[in-house]
Amino acid sequence: MQRTQVGIIGCGPAGLMLSHLLSRQGIESVILERQTRDYVEARIRAGILEQGTVDLLRESGVGERMDREGLVHDGVNMAFANRLERIDFQARTGKAVMVYGQTEMTRDLIESRLAAGGEIKFSAPALAVEDFDTSHPRITYEEAGQRKELGCDFVAGCDGSHGVALQSVPEERITTFERVYPFGWLGILADVPPVDDELIYANHERGFALCSMRSPTRSRYYIQCALDDNVDNWSDDAFWDELRRRLPEQAADNVTTGPRLEMSIAPLRSFVAEPLRFGNLFLAGDAAHIVPPTGAKGLNLAVSDAYYLATALAAHINDDQGDLLDRYSDTCLRRVWAAIRFSWWYTILMHRFDDDPFSHRLQVAELDYLSRSEAAQTSMAENYVGLPFDATFA
């Protein structure tokens, strides 16, 4: 049986960042990933990095390509009632966000871990986490058709809400909270220039729309759709027409159309598991929580989880101080619920929930207030650019 100090399940942002930060503290880890490397590096995911995430990537030595290719955004646009209003993050908080795709960050972290001699076992699905209430937990996994075991001192479950880490916890020891939203996002990726230099979030009677980008020549657009919709129902032209209908005229006129590189529908839900520690098993990233993408929080919560857990494990292993490890769950959950609240508020503000014109007028009234109130803009900007994460947050 192979042994390591920290066994990590999942090669997403949480697992990779955790392994990277542990390595910088001289702590060994092994990542188990069920998919191939090509599959992991091709997954299309979010692309907004909070200021804290950007700072951590830089400080930990994996921010060079991000700084070279990422797009700094000092604000965001809110579209409603055929108006376009900008929220200035720099003016309200002195901070910004970075547009840099999760796909790119994942590639950077994988390359860094392998170059440093880190071990990532691709095509090695974890099957179960065992003995996590003891000092010698084990991860059972499969590799090349053979059943194997990884012995470790600690296990980090970073394998999503349907992964084996969460499934290994007895039901009576965990509480989950969930809210499923009655719509999805139909998204298209296309090699066309963005509508604007910054993101546009649109509230419209026909439903929500979002204009975002991956680079100056590649754009990512979304429109609210029914949960039972199907991409086969949408031609490229139909998507572009519907997107333009939901934007103010000045933005709609700037839409450049082109053939899709990818089109998909993503359901929206909020999910939180409590607690996040079970003996020597710790949950992080999507295994611990999921937020609707409206607030751009999922990737950033995964990174902050990794930071908290790496800091706590290093204090315990290197300095024999276990207080941060004892507080890991509470520390993370305080920030998680703050992000859940913001994402929920932003989602109900921007999306169409029913056909009631009264509801839509209330949304427009709140957006109008947001456009005029410095206090409201500061609150939104603080949450969007990211609440601070450090070991003393709790």
Specify if 45 maps to a domain.
yes
Q: How many domains does one find in the chain?
A: 1
At residue 366, the pLDDT reads 98
Cα separations (Å) of 121 from 31, 49, 117, 303, 306?
6, 27, 12, 21, 19
| Beta pairing class for 146-157 and 138-143 | antiparallel
CB contact at 8 A, 54 and 66: yes
Q: What is residue 149's three-state secondary structure?
A: strand
| Beta pairing class for 75-80 and 83-88 | antiparallel
At residue 394, the pLDDT reads 46
Specify if 346 maps to a domain.
yes
pTM of the model: 0.95
Q: What is residue 281's three-state secondary structure?
A: strand
- Sequence-distant (6+) residues with CB within 8 A of 199 are 48, 73, 76, 77, 99, 210, 211, 212, 213
What's the rounded Cα separation, in Å, for the pair 190 and 103? 16
| Residues with catalytic roles | 73, 201, 293, 297, 384
Query: What are the tokens at 100?
Result: 């840099």
Q: 48 has which bridge partners?
A: 99
CB contact at 8 A, 71 and 213: yes
Domain that holds residue 122: 2-70+100-179+269-350
CB contact at 8 A, 8 and 29: yes
What's the rounded Cα separation, in Å, for the pair 330 and 301? 14
Specify if 76 maps to a domain.
no
Q: Is the preceding omega at residue 193 within 30 degrees of 0, hence cis? A: no
Specify if 289 maps to a domain.
yes
Q: 269 has which bridge partners?
A: 180
What's the rounded Cα separation, in Å, for the pair 145 and 123? 10
Q: What is residue 300's three-state secondary structure?
A: helix
Segments in the chain below pLDDT 70: 390-394
8-state DSSP, 273: E
Specify if 81 maps to a domain.
no
CATH of the domain at 123: 3.50.50.60
Query: What are the tokens at 348?
Result: 């109900």
Closest listed residue to residue 195, CA positions, set 263, 260, 125, 250: 250
Specify if 216 maps to a domain.
no
At residue 388, the pLDDT reads 80
What's the rounded Cα separation, in Å, for the pair 24 and 219? 35
Closest listed residue to residue 202, CA positions, set 75, 367, 345, 370: 367
What's the rounded Cα separation, in Å, for the pair 174 and 180? 19
Closest listed residue to residue 123, CA positions, set 42, 34, 30: 34
Task: Give the Cβ contact number of residue 5 at 10 Å.
Answer: 15
What is the separation of C-alpha 126 from the centre of its chain, rounded to a whole number of angstroms? 22
Which class for 86: exposed (0-12), middle (13-18), buried (19 or more C-beta within 10 A)? middle
Q: What is residue 381's three-state secondary structure?
A: helix
At residue 45, the pLDDT reads 75
Q: What is the CA radius of gyration of the chain?
A: 21
Task: Give the Cβ contact number of residue 36 at 10 Å.
Answer: 11
Specify if 229 maps to a domain.
no
At residue 135, the pLDDT reads 95
Q: Which amino acid is at 223?
A: I
Closest listed residue to residue 281, CA positions, set 152, 88, 93, 142: 152
Q: 212 has which bridge partners?
A: 220
Closest listed residue to residue 226, CA positions, set 278, 169, 265: 265
What's the rounded Cα separation, in Å, for the pair 40 and 274? 28
Q: What is residue 187's three-state secondary structure?
A: strand
Phi and psi angles of residue 115, each rounded to the nearest 5 degrees, phi first? -65, -30
Specify if 236 maps to a domain.
no
What's the rounded Cα separation, in Å, for the pair 274 and 71? 35
At residue 393, the pLDDT reads 46
